[in-house]
Amino acid sequence: MTASLDLQLCEQARQSRDPRFDGRFFVAVKTTGIYCRNVCKVKLPLAKNIDFYASAAAAQAQGFRPCLRCRPESTPGSFAWQGTGASVSRAVRLWYQDPAQSISQLCVRLGVGERHLHRLFIEHMGVNPISVRQSIRLQQAKRLLDDTNLPMAEVSQLSGYTSQRRFNDHLLSNYGCTPSQLRNKTKPRTVSQPCLDFQLRYRPPYDWEAVLGFLSTRSIPGAEVIEDGEYRRSIRLGEQYGLLRVRQDKINHQLICSVSHAPESELLSLTEKLRNMFDLYADPIEISHVLGQEPRLKQSLNKHPGLRVAGCWDGFETCVRAIVGQQISVPGAITIVGRLVERYGVECDLGAGISHAFPSSQKLAAELELEHLAMPRARAQAILNLCQAHASGTIDFDIMSSTELMHELQNIKGIGPWTASYVALRAMHEPDIMPMQDLVLQKMLVPGERLTAKQLGVRSEAWRPWRAYATLHLWQLANEK
């Protein structure tokens, strides 16, 4: 049992099966050896026979097996909701992208020692890194068994297991059945070349229309299309390019995703990127409870319940767009970026209105001619400097924390606090980022007044740790004026 949990609150949420607490704790039944989500529809066990755990990994570390009915391993954001420390959050994110990484390899990427990382995991998650890695591998394996028809050897490899025997033993010990038996208990969805099809769950409500509206006004001609309730864009998959399509299945609280020309080996990294891009780890009920105390924000919350922070597919691409957009309108910036993609992007006629892919930082660093950008020389030079920093690895969106990224970006001449905050907001998936220098935010909070950045910062303290969502709600109010 995790000492930091409010046991009385957990018991109330369990008895009521309150969906607002789905994924925020897990119920382990001592008489069956199984752990569930609080929303599981099984007959409620007696209170004396249960324990509560803050994470699936903590329950599994005590020998409990996941429930096959409520699928606790598929709970949206079972790690992300806890607000863990930066190094722990990054470690978990990197393991979801590549569960085969060893702890020593992870420490090298994070720049910390193994003993220090162990202390951080114990402090923030209540379990050691090995238990978390095992839990993530198990989750990924279960998802692949449920959602695909991939051969067992590929499921084992993609889930990070170096041994087929270890894979079989781990699933047998945790689920009480073999991988083949486990797959036969579900109806696997089809995964066939040249297209990967999969579904990603979210916590309702989800304002899909508002997310598409935000992305639509910023879509790059030729590289992105939003129409008929569907988001489409070109994406790079190794040396190939594929077409990404995403739409909402509102009834089943999930997004339906399809990626063409994608090898099965890309499935796990694809799903994790899309969860971040469309903010599927968010807990909208908790967010609205905090932000709803502010009258101005409550207006937007009532009109747009479940508004998400629209992320991005590629941090570098978003950073280029943010620099272009400094001091000009969004349509003007998109026109310039569209020309850049047409001139330097990769031609890849994928159909559905997609003809180009955004150019890599390496290509732009080597070929970009500043006079073709149709913008002030200083801003164009900032883009070239960014390309060089990203191509050399000085800026790395996969490894850096938001604080590190913002610091490195502002070391580039021509990139200020607003641009750095905006990039962190959309590319780093941090829920508490807010660009205090934003003129719209300063004007929208108090009608008829403009707050200073310092005043906005003081006022926003009450919205922590959800200031990124406050930002989106205030921008939404401004768009609807």
What amino acid positions are annotated as catalytic residues? 36, 438
Cα–Cα separations (whole angstroms), residue 101 to 74, 194, 239, 275, 464: 21, 28, 22, 21, 33
Q: In the sheet that 230-237 helps form, which strands lie side by side, from edge to edge?
A: 195-201, 254-260, 240-249, 230-237, 224-227
| Tokens describing residue 290 | 């905090």
SS3 24: coil
Q: What secondary structure letter does DSSP report for 71?
A: -
| Tokens describing residue 253 | 């609280």
What is the phi-psi region of residue 429: left when phi exceeds 0, alpha when psi lies from -120 to 50, beta otherwise? left
User: Are the C-beta atoms of 281 and 273 separated by less than 8 Å?
Assistant: no
| Contacting residues for 335 by C-beta, under 8 A, at least 6 apart | none
- Count the helices and strands in the chain (H runs, E runs): 22, 11
**b/e per residue 147-186 (b: at least 16 CB within 10 A):** bbebebeebbbbbbbeeeeebbebbeebbeeebeebbeee
Angstrom distance (rounded) from CA 201 to CA 248: 10
| Tokens describing residue 249 | 């299945």
| Contacting residues for 78 by C-beta, under 8 A, at least 6 apart | 23, 26, 55, 56, 72
User: Are the C-beta atoms of 208 and 279 separated by less than 8 Å?
Assistant: no
Burial of 305 (0-12, 13-18, 19+ CB in 10 A): middle
- Name the pairing type of β-strands 34-36 and 65-66: parallel
Cα–Cα separations (whole angstroms), residue 233 to 242, 313, 327: 8, 9, 26
Bond from prior residue into 431 cis (ω within 30 degrees of 0): no
Angstrom distance (rounded) from CA 455 to CA 460: 9
CA dihedral 416, 419, 423, 424 (to 10 degrees): 50
User: What is the amino acid identity at position 477?
Assistant: L
| Tokens describing residue 351 | 């159909």
